[in-house]
C-alpha cells in the first residue's frame, strides 16, 4: 500500500515552528516513500479557529516549499461524516449520552482531588436507563457523547520513533467525550479525537507523524480505530522543540511563527534546511546543508531523535549565512529590493538595477540574514554619513587630510570611476604625499564610509561615486562644508526622514 501522510493543523494561531517542523518530517517521509502528503485544516473549534490563521498556515507552508498533494480539506465541511460515525458507535452501544452538567463534573473533580486521586470521569452515565435519560432531557439538559473506555485494556503500539509504547486504559481519564453537547437525539459537533480518526480512516492515512504531545491521544485514537473497524496506521511521535533552558518553545520565547522568521530575514530554503535538523540526524551527519528534495532522498523516521530538540539560533544563523553567501547576485538583489524599500531607502528597481546588484554583491559575504542589509547598505543610500569616533580620529591626522585633498585634486566627478582608476589614484597619492598605502586606505574608508571597517573599499567607493556621494564626503571629512553638499543632502531628505 502506498504511503499517505498528513498535516492536520488547527487554525487557532499562526503557523508555529513546531507544526512546520511536523510538516517537514511528513513531507520528507512522503517524498522518500513516493507517497502522498495531505493537508487537512482542523477547524471544528469554531470559537478559536480564524480564517486569517488558515491563510497564514497555507502561505507559510507554500513559502517553505512544502507543497501538498491533496487538500486542503476542511473539517467543518465534513461534519456529517463524523456524525454518522458517532451514530454508528451509539447504535453499537460503544458510546452513550452523558447528561452531566459542568457543575456536577466540577464537583466530581473536587472530590477526587480531596481523595488525592487523578481527575477522571467516573463513567456515571454509562448505563442510564431510557427513563433516566428521558428525565434529564425533560429537565432541558443537553448531552455530550462519550466513548466507552475499558479500564482493563492495555494499549500498545510500535512507535516509529520511540519503539514500543504501552498505555493503560485506566490512565485515559474515563469514558471520553467524542461529540459536543446537543439536545435530544441529535449528535453534536465532533471533538478532536473523533474527527481525526474518522478523517485519517477516510483519507486512508498510513502513517501519522506528529509531536509527542499527542501520545495520550494516540492511545485513545487506537481504541476508536478498533471501534470503527478501521486499520490502525503506524505512529511516529517526534520530539518537542525546546528553548535554550530546555523547556517547550512557547509564545513566551518570542519568535515562534514561520511568518515571524520570514520577517526576521530568513530565506525559506535556510529555515526549511534548519528545521530538517531539528530532531532529525541525516545519515551523513556532516552534510548539514541540503535542499528539501535532497533531504527527502535521505529521510527516515528511524533517525528522528527521541530527545527534545533545542532551538539553536546560532546554527540557524550559520545555515542562513551559508545560503545567502552562495545566492546568485540577481536573486539576492530580488530579495533585497523589498527589504530596502521597506526600510524607506529610495530606489528605482529598474533604472538602479545595476547599482543595486553591485551593492548586493558587495554586502553578500557579510550577510547572516537578509535584513542585515538594511544597516549594511544605509551609507550607500544617503548623501551624508556621520563619522564615528575612530573615523574622526583618523581624519584628524595630517596625512589623512593631505591624502583626501590629493584625491580631490585627481578625481573627476563627472567621469565614471573604474577599479583601475581607483587603484591608480591610491598609488599615485602614496607617491605624491609620501604616505603609506595603509594610511591612504584608512583615510579613504573613514572619509567615505564614516567608519574604519567595512566591506571591500574600492567597490564601496565605486558605488558611492556612481551616486556622486564620494566627493561630497571627501570634502566634508576635511572640513570643506560646501553648498553642493547641502543641496544634495536636501534632495535626499526623504531618505533621511525614513532613517530617523
Residue 416: CB minimum distance to ligand GLU, A: 58
d(CA 424, CA 118): 83
Report the C-alpha gap between 402 and 394 in whole angstroms: 12
Of 3-11, 47-55, 304-312, 452-460, the segment contacting ligand GLU by CB under 6 A is 3-11
Measured from the CB of residue 306, what is the shortest distance to ligand GLU in angstroms? 19
Q: CB under 8 Å to 277, separation ≥6 — which residues?
A: 288, 315
Closest to ligand GLU by CB, 301 or 356: 301
188 binds ligand GLU (CB under 6 A): no
For this structure, is 220 an active site residue? no
Output the smallest distance, CB 499 to ligand GLU, in A. 42
Q: How far is CA 136 from the centre of its chain?
A: 49
Q: Which of 42, 43, 159, 470 binds ligand GLU (CB under 6 A)?
A: 42
Using CB under 6 A, which residues numbered 213 to 252 contact ligand GLU? 214
Tell how far CA 52 is from the center of its chain: 17
- E strand segments, 343-391: none
Check residue 9 for interaction with ligand GLU (CB under 6 A): yes
Return the SS3 of 96: strand
Among residues 210 and 445, whose Cβ is nearest to ligand GLU? 210
Residue 10 touching ligand GLU (CB under 6 A): yes
Are 356 and 349 in contact by the 8 Å Cβ rule? The answer is yes
- Scanning the structure block, which residue is given the C-alpha cell 491521544? 217
Size of the site for ligand GLU (CB under 6 A): 7
Least gap, CB of 170 to ligand GLU (angstroms)? 23
End-to-end Cα separation, the chain, in angstroms: 62
**Least distance between ligand GLU and beta carbon 214 (Å):** 6
Angular region, 292: left φ>0, alpha ψ -120 to 50, beta rest: alpha
Closest CB to ligand GLU among residues 217, 300 = 217
In the complex, minimum distance from the CB of residue 24 to ligand GLU, in angstroms, rounded to a whole number? 14
Q: Which of residues 253-312 bind ligand GLU (CB under 6 A)?
A: none
Nearer Cβ to ligand GLU (42/269): 42
Residues in the chain, total: 500
Nearest by Cα to 402 from 368, 432, 438, 364: 432
The smaller minimum CB distance to ligand GLU, of residues 198 and 435, is found at 198
- Of 7-15, 139-147, 235-243, 307-315: span binding ligand GLU (CB under 6 A): 7-15
16 contributes a contact to ligand GLU by CB under 6 A: no
Task: For cell 523589498, name the residue.
Answer: 338
Minimum Å gap between C-beta 8 and ligand GLU is 4
The DSSP secondary-structure symbol of 454 reads -
CB of 5 to ligand GLU, least distance (A): 10
Distances (CA, A) of 10 to 55, 177, 192: 12, 19, 10
In degrees and rounded to multiples of 5, residue 152 shows phi and psi of: -80, -15
Q: Which residues contact 447 (CB under 8 A, 6 or more apart)?
A: 391, 395, 400, 404, 473, 474, 477, 478
- Between CA 458 and CA 441 the distance in angstroms is 9
Rank residues 42 and 372 by Cβ distance to ligand GLU and give the closer one: 42
210 binds ligand GLU (CB under 6 A): yes
Q: Given 231, 251, 306, 486, which residue is catalytic?
A: 251
Separation between Cα atoms, residue 72 and residue 70, nearest integer Å:
6
Grid cell in block for residue 95: 458510546
Q: Is 30 in the site for ligand GLU (CB under 6 A)?
A: no
Strands 163-168 and 154-159 turn out to be: antiparallel
Under rule CB under 6 A, residue 8 binds ligand GLU: yes
Contact between 429 and ligand GLU per CB under 6 A: no
Asked if 196 interacts with ligand GLU (CB under 6 A), we say: yes
Question: Which residue in 151, 148, 152 sits closest to 127, CA to CA?
Answer: 148
For residue 363, with 0-12 CB atoms within 10 Å meaning exposed, 13-18 middle and 19 or more buried, which class applies? buried
Report d(CA 14, CA 67) in Å as an integer. Answer: 18
Residue 10 or 394: the one with the smaller Cβ distance to ligand GLU is 10
Near ligand GLU by CB under 6 A, which window of 8-16, 252-260, 416-424, 443-451? 8-16
Could you tell me which stretch among 5-13, 108-116, 338-346, 416-424 binds ligand GLU (CB under 6 A)? Answer: 5-13
Give 39 or 271: the residue with its C-beta nearer to ligand GLU.
Answer: 39
* Using rule CB under 6 A, residue 159 touches ligand GLU: no
Q: Which stretch binds ligand GLU (CB under 6 A): 4-12, 350-358, 460-468, 491-499?
A: 4-12
Q: In angstroms, what is the minimal distance from the CB of 25 to ligand GLU?
A: 11
Cβ distance to ligand GLU smaller for residue 223 or 464: 223
Is residue 43 involved in binding ligand GLU (CB under 6 A)?
no
Q: Is the dihedral of CA 273, 277, 283, 285 positive or negative?
A: positive
Residues 464-483 that bind ligand GLU (CB under 6 A): none
The single residue listed with the C-alpha cell 498528513 is 6
Annotated catalytic residues are: 251
Residues at the contact surface with ligand GLU, assessed by CB under 6 A: 8-10, 42, 196, 210, 214
Amino acid at each position: 500500500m502506498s504511503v499517505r501522510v498528513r498535516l492536520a493543523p488547527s487554525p487557532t494561531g499562526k503557523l508555529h515552528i513546531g507544526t512546520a517542523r511536523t510538516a517537514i518530517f511528513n513531507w520528507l517521509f512522503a517524498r522518500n516513500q513516493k507517497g502522498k502528503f495531505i493537508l487537512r485544516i482542523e477547524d471544528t473549534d469554531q470559537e478559536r479557529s480564524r480564517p486569517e490563521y488558515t491563510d497564514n498556515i497555507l502561505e507559510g507552508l507554500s513559502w517553505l516549499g512544502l507543497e501538498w498533494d491533496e487538500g486542503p480539506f476542511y473539517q467543518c465541511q465534513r461534519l456529517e461524516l463524523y456524525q454518522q460515525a458517532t451514530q454508528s458507535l451509539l447504535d453499537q452501544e460503544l458510546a452513550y449520552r452523558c447528561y452531566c452538567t459542568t457543575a456536577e463534573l466540577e464537583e466530581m473533580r473536587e472530590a477526587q482531588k480531596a481523595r488525592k486521586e487523578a481527575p477522571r470521569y467516573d463513567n456515571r452515565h454509562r448505563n442510564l436507563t431510557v427513563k433516566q435519560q428521558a428525565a434529564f432531557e425533560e429537565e432541558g439538559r443537553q448531552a455530550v457523547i462519550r466513548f466507552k473506555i475499558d479500564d482493563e485494556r492495555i494499549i500498545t503500539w510500535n512507535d516509529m520513533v520511540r519503539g514500543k509504547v504501552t498505555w493503560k486504559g485506566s490512565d485515559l481519564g474515563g469514558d471520553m467525550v467524542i461529540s459536543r453537547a446537543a439536545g435530544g437525539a441529535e449528535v453534536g459537533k465532533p471533538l478532536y479525537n473523533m474527527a481525526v480518526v474518522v478523517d485519517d480512516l477516510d483519507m486512508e492515512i498510513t502513517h501519522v507523524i506528529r509531536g509527542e504531545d499527542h501520545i495520550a491521544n494516540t492511545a485513545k485514537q487506537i481504541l476508536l480505530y478498533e471501534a470503527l473497524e478501521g486499520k490502525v496506521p503506524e505512529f511516529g511521535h517526534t520530539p518537542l522543540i525546546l528553548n535554550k533552558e530546555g523547556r517547550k518553545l512557547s509564545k513566551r520565547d518570542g519568535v515562534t511563527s514561520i511568518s515571524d522568521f520570514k520577517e526576521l530575514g530568513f530565506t525559506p530554503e535556510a529555515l526549511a534546511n534548519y528545521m530538517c535538523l531539528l530532531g532529525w540526524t541525516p545519515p551523513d551527519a556532516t552534510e548539514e546543508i541540503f535542499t528539501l528534495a535532497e533531504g527527502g532522498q535521505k529521510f527516515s523516521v528511524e533517525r528522528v531523535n527521541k530527545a527534545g530538540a533545542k532551538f539553536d539560533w546560532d546554527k540557524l544563523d550559520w545555515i542562513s549565512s551559508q545560503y545567502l553567501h552562495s545566492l546568485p547576485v540577481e536573486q539576492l538583489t530580488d530579495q533585497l529590493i523589498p527589504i530596502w524599500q521597506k526600510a524607506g531607502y529610495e530606489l528605482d528597481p529598474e533604472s538602479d538595477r545595476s547599482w543595486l546588484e553591485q551593492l548586493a554583491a558587495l554586502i553578500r559575504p557579510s550577510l547572516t540574514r537578509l535584513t542585515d542589509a538594511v544597516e549594511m547598505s544605509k551609507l550607500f543610500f544617503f548623501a551624508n554619513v556621520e563619522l564615528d569616533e575612530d573615523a574622526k580620529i583618523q581624519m584628524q591626522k595630517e596625512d589623512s587630510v593631505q591624502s583626501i585633498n590629493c584625491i580631490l585634486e585627481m578625481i573627476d566627478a563627472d567621469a565614471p570611476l573604474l577599479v583601475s582608476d581607483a587603484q591608480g589614484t591610491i598609488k599615485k597619492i602614496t607617491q605624491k604625499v609620501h604616505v603609506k598605502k595603509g594610511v591612504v586606505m584608512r583615510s579613504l574608508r573613514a572619509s567615505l564610509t564614516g567608519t574604519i571597517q567595512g566591506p571591500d573599499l574600492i567597490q564601496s567607493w565605486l558605488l558611492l561615486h556612481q551616486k556622486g556621494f564620494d566627493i561630497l564626503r571627501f570634502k566634508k571629512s576635511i572640513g570643506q562644508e560646501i553648498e553642493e553638499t547641502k543641496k544634495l543632502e536636501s534632495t535626499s531628505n526623504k531618505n533621511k526622514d525614513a532613517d530617523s
